[in-house]
Structure 1
Amino acid sequence: MILYISPIPTAFIQRDIEMLSPTFKIIHLNFTANPYLLPVYFIIQFFQLLILSPFTSKYLCFFAGYHTVLPVFIGKLFRKKVIIECGGTDAMHFPKIDYGNYRKKWLKKATVYSFKNCSLILPVSNSLVKSTYTYDKDSPKNQGLLHLIPDLKTKIQVIYNGFDIEFWTDDHREKSPFSFVTVATGISKKNRALVKGIDLVLEMAKTFPNYSFTIIGDREFKTTLPNVNLIPPLNQKEIREIYQQSQFYLQLSYSEGFPNALAEAMLCGCIPIGSNVGEIAKIIGETGFILPHKDFALLHNLISTLKEKDLEPLRKATAQRIKNNFNYRLRKDKLIEVLK
C-alpha cells in the first residue's frame, strides 16, 4: 500500500491518484494549509501514520512542507521509501511577493529537513532543480532546490506532468475573437494574485476594453472592469467548454513550476501567452508568445501586434506540442516505474 500525502486536495493530485490506483493500492491523506490548525493535524497525522505503518510500503508526498516532516521521520525510522514530488512553492523563494516555503523560518526548516531526508525527489520541471530567474529584476536570481539547499544530496529525478489528450481536445469550433482566459485559485489573497499574474491581466483588460477576459477559480475575487468575467471554481468539463471557445490562454505568472492549466488549454486550441518563468517557455515552444520580463509596456506591445499575426497555424500547433512532449501515458509509466 502507498500512502499519498498532500497539504490540500487539488485537481492534479487527484489525477495522480487516478493514474496510479489501477496499479497500486493508494490511501490519500490530506493535511492542512491553515497555520492555526497545524498542532491538531500533526497529532492526527502521527496516529494515522502509526496505525497504517504496518500496511504501508512507500510514502508519496506532493510538495514538501509541514505535512512531510512526520512521513519522512517515520519512513527513515522504519526504513520505508519516502518520495516527494516537488511542485513549485517548495523550490522557490520570492520575498518581494511573500511566496515560497523559504520565507518563513519553521516552514523552511520543515521543507529542508524533508528534502534532505527523503529517499527521492521528483520535481515536475527542471527549473525546480536549479534555475536562473530573470523575469523580475528585484527578485533573487538563484532559484530551485540546488540553489536554496546547496548541500542537498538526495537523488533527484524530473518527471514532467502529463495530460489526458482524449479529454482535453480542440473541437474546432470558431473561437471568440480576442478572448483571453486564465485559471487561478486563491487570488482573493494579494500575494496569490501577484504569483498568478492577475495584476497584469487586469491591466490588459483596462488597456484593451474591446477584448474579453475570463478568470476562473476564485469566487471571492472582485473587479469592476466590465470586460472581465469572473467565474468560480468549475469542474473539468465546464473548464474545457470555456477553453474550447477562447482564443488565448494567459499564464503570466510571477513564478511557476509546471502549470497544468496552460497545457490543458493548449490541448483545447488556446494560443498561449506566458511569462518567462519556470517551464512555461518550454511548454509553449514556438506555438505561442513569451513575455520575457515583467514589464507592462512589453506586454502591451505583444497584445497590440496579435492582430497582425497568422494565428490559425498556432492554434493547430499548440495541441500537437502537448501531445508530443507532455503525454499522460509518459508520466504514468515513469511514476509506476519509480514506485515499483
Structure 2
Amino acid sequence: MNQFKKPETKSCPNILFVSTFQAQFIESDFEILKEKFKVTKLSGNGLIHVLRLMLACFKHDIAFCWFASTYSSIVTLIMRTLHKKSIIVIGGVDIAKDEKLKYGIWINPWKALLVKQAIKLASVVIVQSEEINKRVKMLANYDGKNIIILPTAYDTNFWQISDKPKLNYILTVALCNDKKRLLIKGIDILLRTAEILSDFSFIIIGINDKVIKGWNIPSNVQVISAMERKSLLKYYQEAKIYCQPSRHEGMSNSLCEAMLCGCIPVATDVGATRSVLNNTGFLVKPEDPAELARALKLAMELKADMSSIRKQVEKYTIVYRKEKLTEIIFSL
C-alpha cells in the first residue's frame, strides 16, 4: 500500500477518533482530519469509555485510533465485525516490552494478545519508521502487510533556528511525573553522565520537582519544570547540543523539535531515533553513561551545521502528513 489516490466518487466518511489521553501530537492529527472529514473525538479510559466507544462504532465509517491498546483492540474488532475500516497509529509505549521497568503493554499476556489481534485486524497500521515497522512485525508475529510508514508531523514554521549564536550547554526535554518515567527517559543515565562531564553544563526541562526530590543532582545540572512551547523554543534555539538518553522511545517529538532549531543531536539508538538522525549527530547505546559522555564531548567540539541538522526533520511537515492521511483514508 504505497500509493493512495482519492477516488472521485467516494463520499466523505465519518471518522471516530480514539485516544486514551490528550497530547499535542495526538491533537495535531485530530486537527488535520477534521479539516476534511466529519470527526468525533472520544478520549478517556475505564468501563464508561469502553461503552461509549462500542456505541460510536455503529455510527462511524472509519475508526482512527492513536496507540495500540485494549481500547483500540475493542474498536478494531467491532469495526471489523461491522465490515468497517480501522486505522491504528503506533506510538512508543505500544512497542515497549520492558520486564525490568514493568513498562509496555506487551508485558501483560492478555493485553498483548488483544493488541496483537488488533494490529492484525486493522485495515491500516501507521508506524513512524522502518525500525518501528520491524518491531511491530516481530511483536505481533505477522507479515505486516497492512503497515504504512508515515512519520509524525512537526510545526516547522514555529521551530526555527535563531540568528543568535548557540551556547555551550546540553539540553534534554522529558516530561516526567513519576519515577518510572524518569527511568524510561534515561534521566538517571544522564545524571551519571553529567558527573563524568563535570565541566559541561546540562539543563533538563520537564521534570516535576517532587519526582526528582531526593535524587543526587550534580552541581552542573539545572532541572526546570515543564513549560509552554513558546518558552521552550528559547532553550532549543540556545542549546548547542540536544541529548536524548532514553531507554524507550517512539519518534521523539522533543528530539525532532530540537533538531529543527539546529541542536546537534546525541541520542540513544531506540525507537525511530536512527531514522531521525540519519547519520547526523551521534547515536549511542542506551544505558551507557561512558559512551554517552564520549559522544557529548565530541559533539561539543564540533561546529554545528545547523541547516543540515534541520533538513533531517523539516521534511516531516504538517502539510505532508495531512496529504498522506487523506490519501490513506480515501483508499479504504
Is the TM value for this pair above 0.5?
A: yes
Pairs within 5 Å for 1:261-280: 261-280=254-273
Q: For the residues of structure 2 that align with 1:72 and 1:176, how far apart are their CA atoms? A: 49
Q: For the residues of structure 2 that align with 1:256 and 1:91, how far apart are their CA atoms? A: 9
Question: 1:312 corresponds to which residue?
Answer: 304
Q: 1:283, CA displacement in angstroms?
A: 1.1
Q: For the residues of structure 1 that align with 2:260 and 2:266, how far apart are their CA atoms? A: 14
> Percent identity, aligned pairs only?
29
Question: 2:146 corresponds to which residue?
Answer: 155
Q: For the residues of structure 2 that align with 1:95 and 1:312, how far apart are their CA atoms? A: 38
| Equivalent pair of 1:66/1:107 in contact (CA under 8 Å) | yes
Q: TM-score, normalised by structure 2?
A: 0.87
Question: 1:7 corresponds to which residue?
Answer: 20
**Mean Cα deviation higher: 7-16 or 103-112:** 103-112
Q: TM-score, normalised by structure 1?
A: 0.85
1:118 and 2:110 matched: no
Q: 1:98, CA displacement in angstroms?
A: 2.4
1:29 to 39, 42, 49: 42
1:84 and 2:88 matched: yes
Q: 1:207, CA displacement in angstroms?
A: 2.3
Task: Read off the aligned partner of 1:234 and give its amino acid letter.
Answer: M
Q: For the residues of structure 1 that align with 2:70 and 2:186, how far apart are their CA atoms? A: 27
Counterpart of 1:170 in 2: which secondary structure?
coil
Question: 1:253 corresponds to which residue?
Answer: 246
| Equivalent pair of 2:266/2:296 in contact (CA under 8 Å) | no
More RCO (CA 8 Å, sep 6+):
2
| Equivalent pair of 2:128/2:149 in contact (CA under 8 Å) | yes
2:171 to 181, 186, 198: 181
Given the superposition, is the C-alpha separation of residues 46 and 229 from structure 1 closer, same or farther in structure 2, using an over 3 Å criterion?
same
Question: 2:30 corresponds to which residue?
Answer: 17
Q: For the residues of structure 1 that align with 2:136 and 2:74, how far apart are their CA atoms? A: 21
1:104 and 2:108 matched: yes
Q: For the residues of structure 2 that align with 1:44 and 1:290, how far apart are their CA atoms? A: 40
Q: For the residues of structure 2 that align with 1:259 and 1:88, how far apart are their CA atoms? A: 9
Deviations 1:119-158 (A, max 9, x none): 211111211221xxxxxxxxxxxxx122112246661111
Unmatched segments (≥5 aa) in structure 2: 1-13
Deviations 1:194-219 (A, max 9, x none): 22121221112222233222222232
Deviations 1:137-192 (A, max 9, x none): xxxxxxx1221122466611111112221111012212221x112222235223x2
Deviations 1:204-237 (A, max 9, x none): 2222233222222232431443332222222221
Q: 1:293, CA displacement in angstroms?
A: 5.4
Q: For the residues of structure 1 that align with 2:312 and 2:157, how far apart are their CA atoms? A: 15
What's the Cα RMSD here? 2.1
Pairs within 5 Å for 1:43-62: 43-50=48-55, 52-62=56-66
Counterpart of 1:82 in 2: which secondary structure?
strand
Counterpart of 1:64 in 2: which secondary structure?
coil
Q: For the residues of structure 2 that align with 1:125 and 1:203, how far apart are their CA atoms? A: 30
Given the superposition, is the C-alpha separation of residues 197 and 126 from structure 1 closer, same or farther in structure 2, using an over 3 Å criterion?
same
Q: For the residues of structure 1 that align with 2:257 and 2:204, how far apart are their CA atoms? A: 15
Q: For the residues of structure 1 that align with 2:292 and 2:16, how far apart are their CA atoms? A: 44
1:42 to 47, 50, 53: 47
| Equivalent pair of 1:46/1:70 in contact (CA under 8 Å) | no
Question: 1:141 corresponds to which residue?
Answer: none
1:209 to 183, 198, 203: 198
Task: Read off the aligned partner of 1:200 and give its amino acid letter.
Answer: I
1:221 and 2:226 matched: no
Given the superposition, is the C-alpha separation of residues 30 and 163 from structure 1 closer, same or farther in structure 2, using an over 3 Å criterion?
same
| Equivalent pair of 1:64/1:86 in contact (CA under 8 Å) | yes
Task: Read off the aligned partner of 1:207 and give its amino acid letter.
Answer: I
| Equivalent pair of 1:115/1:152 in contact (CA under 8 Å) | no
Question: 1:195 corresponds to which residue?
Answer: 184
Counterpart of 1:303 in 2: which secondary structure?
helix
1:69 and 2:73 matched: yes
2:326 to 306, 316, 336: 336
1:145 to 136, 142, 159: 136
The number of aligned residues is 313
Counterpart of 1:171 in 2: which secondary structure?
coil
Q: For the residues of structure 1 that align with 2:230 and 2:265, how far apart are their CA atoms? A: 20
Q: For the residues of structure 2 that align with 1:75 and 1:270, how far apart are their CA atoms? A: 44
Counterpart of 1:230 in 2: which secondary structure?
strand
